[in-house]
Amino acid sequence: MGVSVMATQLSLSEGCNRVGKFIKPSVNKKNQITGAHKNDGHLPIHIHFKYRLTESLEGVWSTILHGTTLYVHIPTNTNGEGSKDSFIRLLEYAEEKLKATNVVVFFQEDRSDAPSWMRAFLFLGFSLLPPKHHLRPDNQGFIYMMYVVD
């Protein structure tokens, strides 16, 4: 598997029994994700990761790959159902296919379920990023947590 360095879009197919497969950029089917351009290590790549858990349930994550760090936004409408399984698949994919060395999750600090998300990510091995950390964007109102890929 690989991505053409000439690609301007990245489509990633995910399903219950597949880890992922890169396909032609123009394809946009029910179980596929679109993103942005080549990864030369300097420009960020926007990847939507969608993992179908059942016929009626799928986990969807919006990510940015910048260098070897994958940033994952946790939207306010994300519920716990299916999130854990699809997020674990995302971590596996980040390590095995994207060769990420760090995964940084971020979510709004004023959301009512922020403490629950913090506990969940701490359980998975994430740690809080301090405000001046070099991998933390200077965005106020968000909690940033980092996982170092071994």
- C-alpha to C-alpha distance for 70 and 104, rounded to whole angstroms: 6
Predicted confidence band of residue 61 (pLDDT cuts 50, 70, 90): confident
Torsion region of 98: left, alpha or beta (phi above 0 gives left; psi -120 to 50 gives alpha): alpha
Contact status, residue 8 vs residue 25, Cβ threshold 8 Å? yes
Query: pTM to 2 decimals?
Result: 0.72
96-122: pLDDT as tens digits: 999 999 999 999 999 999 999 999 999
The confidence score (pLDDT) of residue 9 equals 36
- C-alpha to C-alpha distance for 149 and 102, rounded to whole angstroms: 6
- C-alpha to C-alpha distance for 124 and 122, rounded to whole angstroms: 5
21-32: pLDDT as tens digits: 333 333 333 333
Q: What does pLDDT average to over the chain? A: 74
pLDDT (mean) for 50-67: 83
Predicted confidence band of residue 77 (pLDDT cuts 50, 70, 90): confident
Query: For residue 53, how far is the Cα from the chain centroid?
Result: 16
Q: What is the dihedral of CA 23, 27, 71, 107, to 10 degrees?
A: -150
pLDDT (mean) for 83-89: 83
